[in-house]
Chains A and B, each alone.
Chain A
Amino acid sequence: DAGVIQSPRHEVTEMGQEVTLRCKPISGHNSLFWYRQTMMRGLELLIYFNNNVPIDDSGMPEDRFSAKMPNASFSTLKIQPSEPRDSAVYFCASSHTGVDEQFFGPGTRLTVL
Protein backbone atom coordinates (compact mmCIF):
# COMPACT_ATOMS: atom_id res chain seq x y z
CA ASP A 1 0.00 0.00 0.00
CA ALA A 2 1.27 3.49 -0.79
CA GLY A 3 0.13 4.91 2.52
CA VAL A 4 -1.65 8.21 2.92
CA ILE A 5 -0.84 10.51 0.02
CA GLN A 6 -0.87 14.29 0.32
CA SER A 7 -0.31 16.97 -2.24
CA PRO A 8 1.31 19.33 -2.65
CA ARG A 9 4.21 18.68 -0.30
CA HIS A 10 5.09 22.37 -0.18
CA GLU A 11 2.97 25.40 -0.95
CA VAL A 12 4.04 29.02 -0.86
CA THR A 13 1.36 31.58 -1.48
CA GLU A 14 0.55 35.19 -0.83
CA MET A 15 -1.89 36.46 1.72
CA GLY A 16 -5.43 36.51 0.37
CA GLN A 17 -4.95 33.66 -2.06
CA GLU A 18 -6.96 30.45 -1.97
CA VAL A 19 -5.10 27.30 -0.95
CA THR A 20 -6.31 23.75 -1.53
CA LEU A 21 -4.62 20.78 0.12
CA ARG A 22 -5.38 17.26 -1.04
CA CYS A 23 -5.37 13.88 0.62
CA LYS A 24 -5.85 10.29 -0.49
CA PRO A 25 -6.38 7.98 2.50
CA ILE A 26 -5.38 4.35 2.68
CA SER A 27 -7.81 2.17 0.79
CA GLY A 28 -10.29 0.50 3.12
CA HIS A 29 -9.94 3.05 5.90
CA ASN A 30 -13.24 4.66 6.78
CA SER A 31 -11.92 7.48 8.97
CA LEU A 32 -9.99 10.54 7.85
CA PHE A 33 -8.46 13.31 9.92
CA TRP A 34 -6.91 16.68 9.08
CA TYR A 35 -4.36 18.05 11.55
CA ARG A 36 -2.29 21.22 11.71
CA GLN A 37 1.15 21.34 13.34
CA THR A 38 2.87 24.53 14.50
CA MET A 39 5.66 25.19 16.94
CA MET A 40 3.36 27.28 19.12
CA ARG A 41 0.31 25.02 19.27
CA GLY A 42 1.68 21.60 18.44
CA LEU A 43 -0.61 19.13 16.67
CA GLU A 44 -4.25 20.13 16.49
CA LEU A 45 -7.13 18.15 15.06
CA LEU A 46 -9.01 20.28 12.55
CA ILE A 47 -11.71 17.93 11.31
CA TYR A 48 -12.70 14.26 11.40
CA PHE A 49 -14.64 12.39 8.72
CA ASN A 50 -16.20 8.97 9.14
CA ASN A 51 -17.53 7.21 6.04
CA ASN A 52 -17.08 10.49 4.13
CA VAL A 53 -19.29 12.43 6.57
CA PRO A 54 -17.83 15.24 8.71
CA ILE A 55 -18.33 14.18 12.31
CA ASP A 56 -16.34 16.77 14.22
CA ASP A 57 -15.21 20.09 12.76
CA SER A 58 -14.83 21.87 16.08
CA GLY A 59 -11.12 22.31 15.45
CA MET A 60 -11.55 24.27 12.24
CA PRO A 61 -10.17 27.71 13.15
CA GLU A 62 -12.71 29.86 11.38
CA ASP A 63 -14.95 30.15 8.34
CA ARG A 64 -11.96 30.63 6.09
CA PHE A 65 -11.29 26.92 6.48
CA SER A 66 -13.44 24.27 4.81
CA ALA A 67 -13.00 20.56 4.16
CA LYS A 68 -14.74 18.10 1.93
CA MET A 69 -14.67 14.38 1.36
CA PRO A 70 -16.61 13.69 -1.84
CA ASN A 71 -15.72 9.99 -1.82
CA ALA A 72 -13.82 7.42 0.20
CA SER A 73 -10.56 8.02 -1.60
CA PHE A 74 -10.24 11.79 -1.64
CA SER A 75 -10.46 14.76 0.68
CA THR A 76 -9.58 18.45 0.40
CA LEU A 77 -8.85 21.16 2.91
CA LYS A 78 -9.36 24.65 1.58
CA ILE A 79 -8.30 27.96 3.06
CA GLN A 80 -9.83 31.05 1.53
CA PRO A 81 -8.53 33.69 1.92
CA SER A 82 -5.21 32.56 3.37
CA GLU A 83 -3.39 34.58 6.04
CA PRO A 84 0.24 34.46 7.28
CA ARG A 85 -0.91 32.89 10.55
CA ASP A 86 -2.13 29.87 8.58
CA SER A 87 1.50 28.96 7.88
CA ALA A 88 1.98 25.47 9.29
CA VAL A 89 2.38 21.83 8.32
CA TYR A 90 -0.96 20.23 7.54
CA PHE A 91 -1.28 16.49 7.97
CA CYS A 92 -3.91 14.11 6.75
CA ALA A 93 -4.32 10.80 8.57
CA SER A 94 -6.59 7.83 8.11
CA SER A 95 -7.55 4.88 10.24
CA HIS A 96 -9.51 1.72 9.79
CA THR A 97 -12.16 2.36 12.39
CA GLY A 98 -11.45 5.77 13.85
CA VAL A 99 -10.58 4.44 17.30
CA ASP A 100 -7.35 2.64 16.48
CA GLU A 101 -3.96 3.69 15.19
CA GLN A 102 -3.85 6.51 12.71
CA PHE A 103 -1.65 6.50 9.62
CA PHE A 104 -0.27 9.90 8.75
CA GLY A 105 0.65 11.32 5.39
CA PRO A 106 3.93 13.17 4.81
CA GLY A 107 2.26 16.55 5.32
CA THR A 108 1.96 19.75 3.33
CA ARG A 109 4.17 22.60 4.47
CA LEU A 110 2.21 25.80 3.84
CA THR A 111 3.84 29.20 3.88
CA VAL A 112 1.63 32.26 3.49
CA LEU A 113 3.59 35.42 2.78
Chain B
Amino acid sequence: SQQGEEDPQALSIQEGENATMNCSYKTSINNLQWYRQNSGRGLVHLILIRSNEREKHSGRLRVTLDTSKKSSSLLITASRAADTASYFCATDNDYKLSFGAGTTVTVRA
Protein backbone atom coordinates (compact mmCIF):
# COMPACT_ATOMS: atom_id res chain seq x y z
CA SER B 1 0.00 0.00 0.00
CA GLN B 2 1.19 3.50 -0.73
CA GLN B 3 1.96 5.49 2.39
CA GLY B 4 3.71 8.52 0.91
CA GLU B 5 1.82 10.83 -1.41
CA GLU B 6 3.73 13.27 -3.58
CA ASP B 7 2.50 16.64 -4.66
CA PRO B 8 2.32 17.86 -7.36
CA GLN B 9 1.81 14.87 -9.64
CA ALA B 10 3.64 16.65 -12.42
CA LEU B 11 5.93 19.66 -12.69
CA SER B 12 7.35 21.42 -15.73
CA ILE B 13 10.14 23.96 -15.30
CA GLN B 14 12.76 25.78 -17.32
CA GLU B 15 16.38 24.73 -17.10
CA GLY B 16 18.09 26.64 -14.32
CA GLU B 17 14.95 27.00 -12.22
CA ASN B 18 14.38 25.25 -8.91
CA ALA B 19 11.94 22.37 -8.54
CA THR B 20 10.15 21.62 -5.30
CA MET B 21 8.01 18.59 -4.57
CA ASN B 22 6.32 17.51 -1.40
CA CYS B 23 5.55 14.22 0.26
CA SER B 24 2.99 13.54 2.94
CA TYR B 25 2.62 10.32 4.88
CA LYS B 26 0.25 8.89 7.43
CA THR B 27 2.03 6.83 10.07
CA SER B 28 5.23 7.26 12.07
CA ILE B 29 8.47 6.42 10.30
CA ASN B 30 12.08 5.52 10.97
CA ASN B 31 13.48 7.21 7.88
CA LEU B 32 12.25 8.79 4.69
CA GLN B 33 14.04 8.24 1.40
CA TRP B 34 13.82 9.91 -1.98
CA TYR B 35 14.42 8.05 -5.23
CA ARG B 36 14.59 9.09 -8.88
CA GLN B 37 13.39 7.01 -11.82
CA ASN B 38 14.31 7.86 -15.38
CA SER B 39 11.93 6.61 -18.03
CA GLY B 40 12.30 2.88 -18.53
CA ARG B 41 14.90 2.51 -15.82
CA GLY B 42 15.15 1.30 -12.24
CA LEU B 43 14.99 3.59 -9.25
CA VAL B 44 18.08 5.38 -8.04
CA HIS B 45 18.49 6.33 -4.41
CA LEU B 46 18.97 10.07 -3.88
CA ILE B 47 18.93 10.76 -0.17
CA LEU B 48 17.86 9.29 3.16
CA ILE B 49 16.74 11.49 6.04
CA ARG B 50 16.27 10.05 9.49
CA SER B 51 13.27 10.83 11.65
CA ASN B 52 15.41 12.87 14.05
CA GLU B 53 16.83 15.04 11.25
CA ARG B 54 15.13 18.16 9.92
CA GLU B 55 17.18 18.95 6.83
CA LYS B 56 19.75 17.26 4.65
CA HIS B 57 21.74 18.33 1.60
CA SER B 58 23.37 16.38 -1.19
CA GLY B 59 24.81 18.37 -4.06
CA ARG B 60 21.91 20.28 -5.65
CA LEU B 61 19.37 18.42 -3.54
CA ARG B 62 17.87 19.66 -0.31
CA VAL B 63 15.45 17.55 1.70
CA THR B 64 13.44 18.66 4.69
CA LEU B 65 11.43 16.56 7.09
CA ASP B 66 8.71 17.71 9.46
CA THR B 67 7.58 14.76 11.53
CA SER B 68 4.94 16.83 13.34
CA LYS B 69 3.23 17.49 10.00
CA LYS B 70 4.21 14.11 8.57
CA SER B 71 5.65 15.74 5.49
CA SER B 72 8.87 16.08 3.56
CA SER B 73 10.03 18.20 0.66
CA LEU B 74 12.66 17.71 -2.02
CA LEU B 75 14.21 20.77 -3.63
CA ILE B 76 16.33 20.49 -6.75
CA THR B 77 18.25 23.70 -7.36
CA ALA B 78 19.50 24.96 -10.71
CA SER B 79 17.72 22.20 -12.60
CA ARG B 80 19.21 20.57 -15.69
CA ALA B 81 17.64 18.65 -18.55
CA ALA B 82 19.11 15.48 -17.02
CA ASP B 83 16.92 16.01 -13.95
CA THR B 84 13.87 15.08 -16.05
CA ALA B 85 12.53 12.01 -14.25
CA SER B 86 9.95 10.79 -11.78
CA TYR B 87 10.74 11.36 -8.12
CA PHE B 88 9.40 9.12 -5.38
CA CYS B 89 9.39 9.45 -1.64
CA ALA B 90 9.48 6.25 0.36
CA THR B 91 8.79 5.91 4.03
CA ASP B 92 10.42 3.06 5.79
CA ASN B 93 9.45 1.08 8.78
CA ASP B 94 12.35 -1.28 9.37
CA TYR B 95 13.05 -2.91 5.97
CA LYS B 96 9.72 -2.13 4.35
CA LEU B 97 9.64 0.81 1.94
CA SER B 98 6.25 2.28 1.04
CA PHE B 99 6.46 4.37 -2.11
CA GLY B 100 4.24 7.21 -3.18
CA ALA B 101 2.86 7.61 -6.69
CA GLY B 102 5.68 9.99 -7.62
CA THR B 103 6.12 13.45 -9.09
CA THR B 104 7.02 13.62 -12.77
CA VAL B 105 9.44 16.48 -13.39
CA THR B 106 10.12 17.79 -16.87
CA VAL B 107 12.98 20.25 -17.30
CA ARG B 108 12.70 22.26 -20.52
CA ALA B 109 15.89 23.38 -22.24
Binding site for B on A (CB under 8 A): 4, 31, 33, 42-43, 45, 48, 50, 55-56, 91, 93, 98-107
Contacts and interface: CB of A to CB of B under 8 A. Distances in A.
A43 B101 CA distance: 8
Interface of B: 2, 30-31, 33, 35, 41-45, 48, 88, 92, 94-102
10 contacts: A42-B99, A42-B101, A43-B88, A45-B96, A50-B95, A93-B43, A99-B31, A99-B92, A101-B48, A102-B97
Contacts of B101: 42
Interface of A is mostly: strand
Contact of A48 (B31, B35, B48, B95): B95
B39 to A, nearest CB: 11
A95 to B, nearest CB: 8
